Amino acid sequence: MGADYPPKATPALQPRGPLWCARTRGVALPLARFAVRDGLELIIQNYRPPKDMTFQYAREAAPIHFGYILQGAIHTVIENSANRFFNANNSAGCGGVMFLPYTIAQGHYRANRQVLAVAVDVSTELFGELAGEVTPALPARLRNLAQGRATSSSFILPSKITARLGGVLRDILSIRPGAPCATLFAEAKALELLSLQIEQFIQSPSAADPATEMDRVDRAGVRRVREILSENLQAPPSLLDMSREAGMSHSKLNRCFKQLYGLTVFEWLRQRRLDKARELLSGGGCSIAEVALCSGFSDQSHLNRCFKRHFGVTPGQFRRARRL
């Protein structure tokens, strides 16, 4: 979730239409956007897709995005020019802060499952003004933005919806556009949401900066494991062997791997195999059975099950659609 910045100032709280260029086969993702002041925007998503759907979107400039899911789930995959750094199922109760410049993302929605989500986007300039005297206490990545340090590095700081956050989110959902003082109320609630989330990060800094548990040697070991997996999709080493290569226990390897890449070791391996299968299917030079073996799946039926579960279509359907 997010928006192009700076938004146009509006005299009253009014819906602003679909967000970003989020589309699937020409269908725009239905999101309501409300500009409450220059550099501050509310975004509400209340959607029940009639079928499994995947929305794709891309962006360059980015605000800081405070997003929360109150109902349903969205499987999100986010990539930047360097790598795929986030791949997870975000379900009710999840939230967090994202800064995602120069990214490409996909949101996967399940058929007939209601999704209710609320977000606040704030420009980096306004965030710096709002943070004020608490800036030194912010997590490092937010602190850099608040201090005006230019960066193109994407990051995600996960959080949970607490009782206080939930109360503010419900207040936001009760806003009636066009009602007296609606814009003022919306601005107050958006700022309250930001302050509560910042307070949560300050009180629990390890939750906002989980990667600080890893030192340089740990990161190097995890990256080495990823390289080994990339080169051995068909016959990867065991988790025990990879743990020895990384110089840590298998539980620590999984934990550190997920901190860096958003997935456990074998979740990442499965995702990379699916990506490889999609590349081979797009090329058209191999049969589906050959694609399965070359990308590390045991057989064609195994590929069919995993591909359909992840992408919403079978390999055959994907290949036929590419030929249209």
Task: Tell which wins on pLDDT, 3 or 173.
Answer: 173
pLDDT the model gives residue 210: 47
7-61 per-position pLDDT tens digit: 233 333 443 433 333 444 445 667 888 899 999 999 999 989 888 888 877 666 6
Confidence of residue 64 (pLDDT cuts 50, 70, 90): very high
135-142 long-range contacts (CB < 8 A, ≥24 apart) are 137/202, 138/198, 138/201, 138/202, 139/201, 139/205, 139/208, 139/209, 140/209, 141/99, 141/209, 142/64, 142/97, 142/198, 142/201, 142/208
Across 99-127, average pLDDT: 89
Residue 290 CB neighbours (<10 A):
12
Asked whether the predicted pLDDT for residue 199 surpasses 80, the reply is yes
End-to-end Cα spacing for the chain: 30
Residue 240 CB neighbours (<10 A):
11
pLDDT the model gives residue 54: 83
Q: Are 288 and 315 a contacting pair, CB within 8 Å?
A: yes
Residue positions counted in the chain: 324
| Residue 264 CB-density burial (10 A; 0-12 exposed, 13-18 middle, 19+ buried) | middle
Q: Domains of the chain (ranges plus CATH)?
A: 23-210 (2.60.120.10), 212-323 (1.10.10.60)
**Both tokens of residue 188?**
């107050």
